[in-house]
Structure 1
Amino acid sequence: MREKTCSQYVVLACSALTRAYRRALTTGQNTCIPPDPWQTNEDDISLQTLFIHLQGSVEMISERMQKRRGHFMPVTLLQSQFDTLEPPGEPELFMVFNVEKDISEIVSEIKAKLECMTPKHS
């Protein structure tokens, strides 16, 4: 949120599997605690936040995870992540990218889409 006041673009990489987690990221409100009556709508950056949803099959992602060395998350937890996942939907702003491609292709595709959305500064 601090970056919002500095008019900077920020990239945050996390699973944010549920709408509640994504809402907490964009509003700063913990969904387990009643809303702060002093919090203003200025703190809500949900209309300025774009979620990139990487979509792939359990099998394909499992295969990629097994090739990783020293990663913190074991493959045995993958199914529970899929079970918990609430894909983004309206009113969230989001783009979906299929992860079946090579990682460099996925990154290039995301960058191209974002460049189309970003205002050009002269």
Structure 2
Amino acid sequence: MHILGFCTCPDRMIYIIMGVSGSGKSSLGTFLSEKLGWPFYEGDNFHPQENIKKMACGEPLTDQDRFPWLLRLHEVIERERCSGSDALVACSALKRLYRQILLHGSTAVAPNICPHHISPSSPEVFFLYLHGDYDLIHQRMVARQGHYMKVDLLRSQFDILEPPSDEENVLTLDIRRSLGEMVLEVEKHIESLKL
């Protein structure tokens, strides 16, 4: 069955792990992938080279920079959904519009489509929002080695962050908790959805 161009398979789930840079998306995604046996797609790997160069130079990305990247991730999500697979995708997804593109692709930015006519959620896709304050995440980024994202860009990410609302199928995770505790919370969430 297709709804709004989506393949629907209620027994399958896609978790989009979202949050600002340095919130722990990759760590949680890797841990969950190993624990659940689900494939994990690291959003950073789908950025065009121009985006990586900009971030490495300390230049914030614009919406126009992000749109091709978000559309590539939308294709990954759609492929997994249509194949009936469970999957994990890490993507900052800072704005509501970005999350709409992940769910609905280019439809979300089509000039003749009213944003209010696009569903804020999709039956099989859930957002895991890694929530933490600026100081904690800044400390983590300073300690992080080998990532192209400059610490100076963290403030710009917080400036544009639009935390997801309940209607967006979101589970908020407090990053002050241990990785193990967050994974347990996700596992409980999965179990609750199967009831």
TM-score greater than 0.5 by the shorter chain: yes
Equivalent position of 1:20 in the other structure: 97
Alignment counterpart, residue 34 of structure 1, candidates 111, 119, 129 = 111
Looking at structure 2, the residues matched to 85 and 34 of structure 1 have their Cα atoms a distance apart, in angstroms, of 23
2:147 maps to 1:56? no
Q: Which moved more, 1:71-80 or 1:44-53?
A: 44-53
Alignment counterpart, residue 160 of structure 2, candidates 61, 76, 84 = 84
Per-residue displacement from partner, 1:24-71 (whole Å, max 9, x unpaired)? 0111225443358xxxx9xx9723210000100100000011111111
SS in 1 for 2:167: coil
1:65-84 → structure 2 map (5 Å cutoff)? 65-84=141-160
Equivalent position of 1:2 in the other structure: 79
Query: Residue type of the partner of 1:75?
Result: V
1:101-112 → structure 2 map (5 Å cutoff)? 101-110=177-186, 112=187
Any runs of at least 4 consecutive aligned residues in structure 1 with deviations exceeding 4 A, and if so which? none
Tell whether the 8 Å contact from 1:23 to 1:29 is kept in structure 2 after alignment: no
2:162 maps to 1:113? no
Tell whether the 8 Å contact from 1:27 to 1:45 is kept in structure 2 after alignment: no
Looking at structure 2, the residues matched to 98 and 45 of structure 1 have their Cα atoms a distance apart, in angstroms, of 22
Looking at structure 2, the residues matched to 11 and 104 of structure 1 have their Cα atoms a distance apart, in angstroms, of 17
Tell whether the 8 Å contact from 2:121 to 2:167 is kept in structure 1 after alignment: no
Looking at structure 2, the residues matched to 66 and 77 of structure 1 have their Cα atoms a distance apart, in angstroms, of 12
Aligned residues: 113
Unaligned stretches of 5+ in structure 2?
A: 1-77
Displacement, 1:115?
Answer: 3.3
Greater helix proportion = 2
Give the share of equivalent positions with the same residue, in percent: 35
Query: Residue type of the partner of 2:189?
Result: L
Unaligned stretches of 5+ in structure 1?
A: none
Looking at structure 2, the residues matched to 29 and 48 of structure 1 have their Cα atoms a distance apart, in angstroms, of 19
Report the aligned-residue RMSD.
2.5
Tell whether the 8 Å contact from 1:97 to 1:106 is kept in structure 2 after alignment: yes
Tell whether the 8 Å contact from 2:134 to 2:158 is kept in structure 1 after alignment: yes
